């Protein structure tokens, strides 16, 4: 935990206790939503791993970086905010700041790579169609390496990590450029290569996509036509990616503005409450990606629905049947349970949705083509196994 007995004033909160409690409460909500949403998104991605599109690798990587930020920052920030001071000492402060910069820059760089891939697929399909899953994996590795350079820099004395101006968290020392040249060069490189350049690439990529689709009827028919499910899926990924980018940049831009104000302006004039409020917005970025994709992407949503339905059925089958209720509902439940059995007494497989694809409206579990009798209430019907899709 580091040196918990550190009583340096730099780790004392400089905002009111009421504001600290409010921050701690918001962080608690963000933590629960982020862990739940990102874990669900990763679970769905794992179940459909064999059919993932190259662009979806960046969605998964974004979820991993968001989850990493959640698990490394919130458990330390929440108790510190509620205690009205940083509780975990100097060493843990350095680790906390490193993780925050690493996962934050990884998320932004990842969104930049995603925008380039979307632009390549929509605007230059001859090249975009050659972009494979192996290319996506290599690009994901490059994203982590790029972010690591700037995250490790302050540990190697290129810049510095210290307590945030409001005292209950740690990040880059934004005041150092006022009196140290190496810190100034680090902040300038960080702003140019990790904020201004990525934001410019993202903006230009999606602007070029919109211009390409609008300016050519042929491009519209080729890339967003509802008659072609694959290209329609690409168009949906583009729209959702834009939504995630807007959410992420909207969350981090206030912090970037305040940080640049402190780094290149009069640092003493920046109120600590401004940093605290900007930090709250920045940490909310961990919840946007799973919300957008789980709520708006049909095949992700369908897989999630199938998995939760299968879990509910497993729980229902494991619960004891009521003995005293012999009414209609009890009989219907028995008939439904009986209808799930084949005539050769083999049970249907209600596992997780492992075969979801972009080109299928529902998830299907295939089986050998042989007839089987199914007990539906009081009627027995013979069909082939391939005709039976799992419904919930």
SS3 of 90-103: the string is HHHHHHHHHHHHHH
Using alpha carbons, select from 200, 49, 208, 196 the residue that is nearest to residue 137: 49
Has residue 25 got a pLDDT over 60? yes
Q: Please tell me the distance from the alpha carbon of residue 262 to that of residue 178, in angstroms, as a whole number.
A: 9
Q: Which two tokens stand for residue 203?
A: 């903006």
Q: How many CB atoms lie within 10 A of CB 177?
A: 22
Query: For the chain, how many structural domains are there in total?
Result: 2
- If asked whether residues 198 and 311 sit together in one domain, one would say no
User: Which pLDDT score is estimated for 332?
Assistant: 45
- Identify whether the C-beta of residue 356 lies closer than 8 Å to the C-beta of residue 51: yes
Range of the structural domain that residue 32 is part of: 9-296
Model confidence at 51, in pLDDT bands (50, 70, 90)? confident
- pLDDT tens-digit map of 342-389: 334 444 333 333 344 344 443 444 444 444 444 444 444 444 444 443
Has residue 339 got a pLDDT over 80? no
Read off the pTM.
Answer: 0.73
What angle (nearest 5°) sits at the alpha carbon of residue 70, between those of residues 267 and 272?
20
Cα atoms in the Cβ-side hemisphere of radius 13 Å centred on 184: 7
| 215 is a domain residue | yes
Q: Please tell me the distance from the alpha carbon of residue 109 to that of residue 218, in angstroms, as a whole number.
A: 32
Q: Give the three-state DSSP class for 184.
A: helix
CB under 8 Å to 70, separation ≥6 — which residues? Answer: 30, 31, 34, 35, 38, 286
Using alpha carbons, select from 250, 116, 108 the residue that is nearest to residue 191: 108
C-alpha pair distances (Å), 388 with each of 208, 244, 259, 339: 45, 38, 59, 12
| 392 is a domain residue | no
The average confidence (pLDDT) of the chain is: 77
CB under 8 Å to 384, separation ≥6 — which residues? Answer: 369, 370, 371, 372
- pLDDT tens-digit map of 259-288: 999 888 877 788 999 999 999 999 999 998
Q: Which two tokens stand for residue 69?
A: 């930020």
- If asked whether residues 54 and 98 sit together in one domain, one would say yes
- If asked whether residues 232 and 101 sit together in one domain, one would say yes
Q: Which two tokens stand for residue 217?
A: 């009827």
| 63 is a domain residue | yes
Among the candidates 266, 296, 326, a domain finishes at: 296
Q: Which two tokens stand for residue 258?
A: 């305040």
> 375: which strand partners?
380
- If asked whether residues 321 and 278 sit together in one domain, one would say no
Q: Which stretch of 9-23, 238-252, 259-273, 307-321 has the lowest confidence by average pLDDT?
A: 307-321
- If asked whether residues 348 and 382 sit together in one domain, one would say yes
Model confidence at 186, in pLDDT bands (50, 70, 90)? very high
- If asked whether residues 273 and 316 sit together in one domain, one would say no
Q: Which residue has the higher pLDDT, 28 or 392?
A: 28
- If asked whether residues 30 and 135 sit together in one domain, one would say yes
Among the candidates 278, 296, 314, a domain finishes at: 296
| 1 is a domain residue | no
- Identify whether the C-beta of residue 109 lies closer than 8 Å to the C-beta of residue 65: no
What is the per-residue burial (b if ≥16 Cβ within 10 Å, else e) of 16-36? eeebbeebbeebeebbebbbe
Q: Which residue has the higher pLDDT, 209 or 193?
A: 193
Q: Please tell me the distance from the alpha carbon of residue 377 to that of residue 90, in angstroms, as a whole number.
A: 69
- If asked whether residues 265 and 344 sit together in one domain, one would say no
CB under 8 Å to 338, separation ≥6 — which residues? Answer: 375
CB under 8 Å to 48, separation ≥6 — which residues? Answer: 299, 303, 353, 354, 355, 356, 357
Q: Where are the beta strands (DSSP E) in 169-224?
A: 170-172
DSSP tag of 348 = P
| 152 is a domain residue | yes
Q: Please tell me the distance from the alpha carbon of residue 336 to that of residue 234, in angstroms, as a whole number.
A: 39
Q: Which residue has the higher pLDDT, 315 or 56?
A: 56
Rounded percentage of the chain residues whose pLDDT exceeds 70: 70
- If asked whether residues 176 and 273 sit together in one domain, one would say yes
Q: What is the CATH number of the domain that holds 199?
A: 1.20.1070.10
- If asked whether residues 326 and 363 sit together in one domain, one would say yes
- If asked whether residues 171 and 75 sit together in one domain, one would say yes
Q: Please tell me the distance from the alpha carbon of residue 157 to that of residue 21, in angstroms, as a whole number.
A: 34
| 118 is a domain residue | yes
- pLDDT tens-digit map of 311-333: 667 677 665 544 444 444 444 44
* Residue with token string 């349970």: 337
- If asked whether residues 279 and 326 sit together in one domain, one would say no
| 320 is a domain residue | yes
H or E, element range at 215: helix 197-215
DSSP tag of 120 = H
Among the candidates 271, 296, 321, a domain finishes at: 296
| 4 is a domain residue | no
């Amino acid at each position: 935990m580091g040196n918990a007995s550190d009583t340096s004033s730099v780790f004392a909160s400089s905002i009111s206790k009421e504001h600290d409690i409010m921050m701690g409460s918001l962080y608690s909500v963000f933590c629960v939503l982020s862990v739940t949403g990102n874990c669900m998104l990763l679970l769905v991605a794992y179940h459909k791993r064999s059919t993932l599109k190259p662009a979806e690798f960046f969605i998964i990587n974004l979820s991993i970086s968001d989850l990493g930020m959640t698990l490394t920052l919130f458990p330390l920030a929440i108790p510190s905010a509620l205690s009205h001071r940083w509780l975990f000492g100097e060493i843990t402060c350095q680790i906390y700041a490193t993780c925050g910069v690493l996962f934050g820059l990884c998320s932004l760089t990842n969104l930049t790579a995603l925008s380039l891939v979307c632009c390549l697929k929509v605007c230059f399909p001859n090249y975009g169609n050659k972009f494979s899953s192996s290319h996506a994996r290599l690009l994901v590795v490059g994203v982590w390496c790029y972010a690591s350079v700037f995250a490790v820099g302050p540990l190697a004395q290129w810049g510095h990590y210290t307590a945030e101006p409001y005292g209950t968290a740690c990040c880059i020392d934004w005041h150092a450029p006022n009196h140290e040249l190496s810190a100034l060069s680090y902040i300038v490189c960080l702003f140019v290569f990790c904020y201004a350049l990525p934001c410019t690439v993202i903006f230009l990529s999606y602007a070029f996509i919109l211009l390409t689709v609008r300016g050519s009827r042929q491009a519209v028919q080729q890339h967003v036509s509802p008659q072609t499910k694959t290209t329609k899926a690409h168009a949906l990924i583009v729209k959702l990616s834009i939504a995630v980018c807007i959410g992420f940049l909207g969350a981090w831009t206030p912090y970037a503005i305040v940080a640049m104000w402190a780094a290149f302006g009069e640092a003493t004039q920046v109120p600590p409450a401004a940093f605290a409020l900007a930090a709250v917005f920045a940490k909310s970025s961990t919840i946007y990606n799973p919300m957008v994709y789980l709520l708006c992407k049909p095949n992700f949503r369908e897989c999630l629905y199938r998995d939760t339905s299968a879990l509910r059925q497993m729980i229902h089958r494991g619960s004891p049947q009521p003995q005293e209720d012999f009414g209609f509902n009890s009989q219907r439940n028995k008939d439904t349970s009986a209808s799930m059995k084949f005539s050769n007494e083999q049970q249907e497989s209600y596992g997780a949705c492992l075969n979801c694809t972009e080109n299928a409206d529902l998830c299907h579990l295939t089986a050998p083509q042989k007839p089987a009798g199914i007990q539906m209430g009081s009627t027995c019907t013979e069909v082939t196994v391939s005709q039976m899709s799992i419904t919930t």
